[in-house]
Amino acid sequence: MGMSRWKPDAQTRLVQAALELYGERGFEQTTVAEIAQRAGLTERTYFRHFADKREVLFGGSTVFEETLIHAIANAPDVATPIDAVVVGLDAVAEAMFPPERHDYARRRQAAIMANAGLQEREQSKFASLVAALVVALGQRGVDEPTARLTAEVGVVIFKVAFERWVDGDQHLDLSQLIQESLRDVRGVTAGEGSAVGAAA
Amino acid sequence: MGMSRWKPDAQTRLVQAALELYGERGFEQTTVAEIAQRAGLTERTYFRHFADKREVLFGGSTVFEETLIHAIANAPDVATPIDAVVVGLDAVAEAMFPPERHDYARRRQAAIMANAGLQEREQSKFASLVAALVVALGQRGVDEPTARLTAEVGVVIFKVAFERWVDGDQHLDLSQLIQESLRDVRGVTAGEGSAVGAAA
DNA sequence: TACGCGATGACAGACGCTGACATCACATGC
DNA sequence: GCATGTGATGTCAGCGTCTGTCATCGCGTA
């Protein structure tokens, strides 16, 4: 029977409350105290779960990173660096961004796109991802300069694919969009003196 | 004698003071009030010159952007998108990062690398650069997806080259490092139908 | 001489974030 | 059972960031 002293899933409630309020009034017009109150908690407790006002929208980033790194470590030895990264991105797409999550992702992205500070944090997460990718590639024996550039390109591929996924219909498959994004990047950098290829 | 009511170059003094203090005590251990005081001003006046505590280290970003966009608009019509971007980056390198500035760049970069919040802002500036590049490439007739990816890759090229320039000896030429970085990126994405494909 | 402008100062206040200490259901060991 | 410890939360005080508002006053201009 024992109603526990506190309702469970405080963290989840905070995320939910924040997403609602950011959607209703916008990020800047929302105070942390309000988020906490809607979640049935106090401001102080909010800061025990999240480092700052922005971080509440980026809780999944560590799972993202771990999934990616793990998949890259297990990629076939014969895979080129960029292909290994894409394998990892596919694993993330499957594990974290199934069709059911499309709507949540849309609301979250809408909040981020409406505020410069949140975009800043998102950029920061991508940069952290690059750093993790460099380590993962290094463990595959990839030399540092190649690892760095492969990591950066890999993140670009994901950014573009994710953007298309969020903006598009929910039936689109993120893994497939990642493949398309990879092809596009190859097209961009292919030319020795490549003839532009203005076509879409 | 016309001692003006205020000393000139308030903005420059604020940047100088901030760079000194961030170097001496670190970013977080420095208050805006202290920066303003060292510059002979008040905290309120600091915020009239810079939007927030971080922005004092990123004043050059608009000049950077304008120089880049202008050079791209004037690049030869036959240049591929990525080559046009590199032409722009060379223009920036020449205009904003001559050898004399190497030491300033080093101190600034040291401050940024020592604080997550400042790195966040730097990432944000690069993202803004991507957006500007997309517009500039669009005006050259480049289609959107290609423009986006070219812009992202172009920024990666600059990031890597700039990093090498800052970390290296001052006699290194940034333009030259940009060319090397471009070659490296082409190497990374070169693979055509490279095997693997283990992906789902 | 009067007037407006522009850069700055002074002050109050909201909000983000942190440290320190108190509370109390629950688990654990005796 | 009973004492004790633990973990998540609440409460309170306080610093620092950032903004709105009004006052100051040298300078250019009519």
Backbone φ and ψ of A74, nearest 5°? -95, 5
Domain ranges of chain A: 10-55, 58-187
Cα radius of gyration rounded to whole Å, chain A: 19
Record: contact B149-A188, CB cut-off 8 A: yes
Between B81, B119, B145, which is nearest A127 by CB? B119
Contact B142, A180 (CB under 8 A): no
Record: contact B189-A82, CB cut-off 8 A: yes
B144-167 and B116-138 helices, crossing angle to 10°: 140
In this predicted model, which residue has the larger pLDDT, A37 or A2? Answer: A37
Specify whether the backbone of A118 is left (phi greater than 0), alpha (psi in -120 to 50) or beta.
alpha
Q: For B151-169, write each residue's pLDDT tens digit.
A: 988 998 999 999 999 999 9
Assigned superfamily of B58-186 = Tetracycline Repressor, domain 2 (1.10.357.10)
pLDDT given at position B195: 35
- Residue the block writes with tokens 């001496």: B24
Contact B177, B92 (CB under 8 A): no
Mean pLDDT computed over A104-130: 96
Quick one: which residue's CA is nearest to C8's C1'?
A: B45
Q: Say how many C-beta atoms besides its own lie within 10 A of residue A172's C-beta.
A: 16
Query: Tokens representing B29?
Result: 């251990």
Contact B89, B158 (CB under 8 A): yes
**From first to last of its 200 residues, what are the pLDDT tens digits of chain B?**
556 787 879 999 999 999 999 999 999 999 999 999 999 999 999 999 999 999 999 999 999 999 999 999 999 999 999 999 999 999 999 999 999 999 999 999 999 999 999 999 999 999 999 999 999 999 999 998 889 889 988 998 999 999 999 999 988 999 999 999 999 888 877 754 433 333 32
CB < 8 Å to B142, chain A = 196, 198
Cα gap B189→A152, rounded to integer Å: 11
Percent with pLDDT over 90 in chain A: 82
- Whether A55 has its CB under 8 Å from any CB of chain B: the answer is no
Cα gap A162→A178, rounded to integer Å: 8
CATH topology of domain A58-187: Tetracycline Repressor; domain 2 (1.10.357)
Taking the CA of residue A57 and the C1' sugar atom of nucleotide C9, their distance in angstroms comes to 40
Taking the CA of residue B7 and the C1' sugar atom of nucleotide D30, their distance in angstroms comes to 28
Contact B112, B118 (CB under 8 A): yes
> Which class is B10-55 in CATH?
mainly alpha
Q: Which residues of the protein are close to the nucleic strand D, CB under 7 angstroms?
A: A 5-6, 10, 36, 40-42, 44-45, 48-49; B 2-5, 30-33, 43-44, 47, 51-54
CA distances (Å), A165 to each of A172, A175, B128, in order? 6, 10, 22
Please report which helix (H) or strand (E) contains residue A76, including its range.
none
